[in-house]
Amino acid sequence: MQSSGEDRHRETLRDSQIPLKMLLKESPLLPGYQVIKLEGDAVFRWRARFSNWVSIKLEDYDHPDFTKNQVELTKKLHSCWEWKEIIEDNAEQLKGFTQIKDIIYQKEPYLRIARTDHPEDNIGIHRDTHYGATENEWVVWVPLTDSISGGELRILPCSHREPEEAYPWTQSNDPAVEKGSEKHWLGFRYAPKKMSKEVEDSCVRVPCFFGEAILFNCACVHGQIVNKAPWTRFSVDIRIADKNSDIQRNRGLHGDIYVEL
Ligand SMILES: [Fe+2]
């Protein structure tokens, strides 16, 4: 019988007690994800930069023209390069967990902003491989606010090992997201592929504090349906891959999504 998400999370906790050296050597993201402590200070400068841009504590952020302002903030994000520093400063541990040799990283990462009790701020539970990514790609998910207390990213442990048939989906158009629109550019899906409620419910919460990141394989089922933490969550997700791996680099509105480190 297939183990539940909770069982697999317990296995994950057990796995996480394996000494880092062994994980680095043997590999690999046994459950498909790992919380890592970020080296370097780029993430602290990054948060300060965002706080300046919004002129308010990130946790208290809201805006009357929310989507338009998220676009503006994303453009500002793309004009600074702290995320490159984060990848550089953490290259060794990222390579160790993923077995990537030559890192390429996403040149225009996605900024996600999720207010409390606003399901429309989230893209729901999904699998990146349903949208063109491969199991040769990983996400470095960097929260700029604590991602705890109901605001966690949720992941289905070990789901990266399952074939596509294991997670059937149904697709329908989302009337709130037009193809080529601002929301589409921000990373929302105009025709989302929805998996079963059972799969959604099997995903476990993965707490992650500011200063940490979650590294997960693109084939992992993951996401968030609604932020239940009593503060707004800011996060940036940065794809990484090996320069020589078999991936599709040109995608949708963002062209070739990768640059070399
Ligand atoms: Fe995703």
**Can you tell me the distance from the alpha carbon of 116 to that of 185, in angstroms, rounded to the nearest whole number?**
22
pLDDT for residue 17 is more than 70: no
pLDDT for residue 1 is more than 50: no
Label residue 11 by pLDDT band (50, 70, 90).
low
3 alpha carbon, distance to own chain's centre: 24
**Can you tell me the distance from the alpha carbon of 21 to that of 96, in angstroms, rounded to the nearest whole number?**
9
| Residue among 213, 206, 247 at smallest CA distance from 90 | 213
Counting residues of the chain whose pLDDT is more than 70, the rounded percentage is 87
- The residue ranges of every structural domain in the chain are 5-260
- pLDDT tens digit sequence for 171-214: 888 888 889 899 998 988 888 899 999 999 999 999 999 999 99
CA of 152 to the centre of ligand 1 (A): 14
CA of 108 to the centre of ligand 1 (A): 15
Q: Biggest alpha carbon distance in the chain? A: 52
pLDDT value, residue 50: 96
- pLDDT tens digit sequence for 43-56: 999 999 999 999 99
pLDDT value, residue 8: 57
The pTM score is 0.88
pLDDT value, residue 231: 98
Q: Which residue has the higher pLDDT, 146 or 27?
A: 146
Q: Which residue has the higher pLDDT, 171 or 241?
A: 241
The architecture of the domain spanning 5-260 is: Sandwich (2.60)
CA of 126 to the centre of ligand 1 (A): 6
Give the chain's count of helices (H) and strands (E): 8, 13
CA of 124 to the centre of ligand 1 (A): 9
